[in-house]
């Protein structure tokens, strides 16, 4: 933290070491936030800004593959034993995969990583959030689900069809926003505000990585999509901007937007809650 910089609070960011998460981490560290990074791999070692923040303790790193609930549980237990409080939780980690694959738990990868893991993290870190000042959770969603013509919660765990970006990826992001909306009143009663936000289109293409993007979309993204700092700004605004007191809403372009298939929100919440209670908690006993 630079001299004279004010302490702003503590934010936990998943997927903090690349793309939108990296730019959100950069922005918040520069403003004086303490950052807890829950990540699978490391920060760019050639970047002195992040290595300096880690050395000073302003950036604290915990490692886990969020799609592997055994390693996730271990990291969350470590966070609970070492950290004092969390003001903001950004459930940001995710990705669009290029083929249908399963997690270590045997469910479709997008679903466990992008729908279930954020619920587990939120529930496990609730006590630390309640010790914070802002007590706010922002789940990174996507506008990809706006193209969906049908949605069946029962096919989330084992979809029979795959389409890049607009298949299981979009369904898992819709499911994330639906349970966020459904859970919001309960969390608000406990003093925690939760909402989901679309960070918009960003150029997060990484070379040498098998992409879950349709081939026709890649050149469009490279030419026309903004730097990931754009998406980071939208997530930051979702936490601290004009809608910061609104629980359960879905934000697109920083505006409250109606969710598709809201009738399924209770079923989606029941599904992720059952996984948490019957699998995650029991396996950790």
With H, G, I as helix, E, B as strand and everything else as coil, classify residue 53.
Answer: helix
Does a structural domain hold residue 236?
A: yes
171-208 pLDDT per residue, tens: 999 999 999 999 999 999 999 999 999 998 755 655 54
Does a structural domain hold residue 243?
A: yes
What is the distance between the terminal CA atoms of the chain, rounded to a whole angstrom? Answer: 39
Question: Which parts of the chain are beta strand (E)?
Answer: 10-14, 34-39, 59-63, 88-91, 136-140, 193-198, 250-252, 255-257
With H, G, I as helix, E, B as strand and everything else as coil, classify residue 43.
Answer: coil
203-227 pLDDT per residue, tens: 565 554 556 666 555 666 565 555 7
Does a structural domain hold residue 205?
A: no
Does a structural domain hold residue 207?
A: no
* 43 neighbors 50 (Cβ within 8 angstroms): yes
CATH code of the domain containing 115: 3.40.50.720
- pLDDT, residue 4, reads 45
- CA-wise closest residue to 173 among 225, 111, 229: 111
Instruction: Report the domain count for the chain.
Output: 1
- pLDDT, residue 2, reads 44
| Regions of the chain where pLDDT drops below 70 | 1-6, 202-226
Does a structural domain hold residue 206?
A: no
Domain housing 232: 10-199+228-283
Does a structural domain hold residue 237?
A: yes
Instruction: Report the predicted TM-score, pTM, of the whole model to 2 decimal places.
Output: 0.91
Does a structural domain hold residue 70?
A: yes
């Amino acid at each position: 933290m630079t001299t004279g910089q004010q302490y702003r609070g503590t934010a936990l960011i998943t997927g903090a070491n690349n793309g939108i998460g990296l730019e959100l981490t950069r922005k918040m560290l520069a403003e004086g936030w303490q950052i807890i990074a829950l990540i699978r791999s490391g920060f760019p070692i050639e970047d002195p800004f992040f290595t300096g923040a880690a050395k000073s303790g302003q950036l604290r790193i915990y490692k886990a593959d969020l799609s592997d609930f055994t390693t996730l549980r271990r990291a969350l237990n470590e966070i609970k034993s070492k950290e004092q409080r969390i003001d903001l939780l950004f459930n940001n980690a995710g990705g669009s995969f290029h083929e249908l694959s399963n997690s270590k738990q045997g469910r479709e990868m997008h679903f466990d990583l992008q729908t279930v893991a954020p619920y587990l993290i939120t529930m496990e870190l609730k006590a630390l959030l309640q010790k914070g000042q802002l007590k706010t959770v922002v789940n990174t969603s996507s506008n990809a689900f706006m193209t969906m013509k049908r949605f069946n919660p029962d096919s989330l765990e084992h979809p029979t069809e795959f389409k890049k970006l607009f298949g299981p990826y979009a369904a898992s992001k819709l499911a994330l926003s639906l349970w966020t909306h459904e859970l919001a009143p309960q969390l608000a009663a406990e003093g925690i505000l939760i909402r989901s936000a679309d960070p918009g289109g960003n150029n997060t293409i990484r070379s040498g990585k098998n992409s879950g993007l349709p081939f026709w979309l890649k050149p469009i993204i490279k030419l026309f999509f903004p730097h990931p700092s754009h998406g980071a700004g939208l997530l930051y605004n979702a936490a601290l901007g004009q809608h910061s007191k609104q629980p359960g809403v879905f934000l697109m372009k920083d505006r409250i937007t109606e969710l598709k298939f809201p009738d399924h929100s209770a079923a989606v919440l029941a599904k992720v809650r059952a996984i948490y209670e019957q699998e995650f908690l029991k396996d950790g006993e």
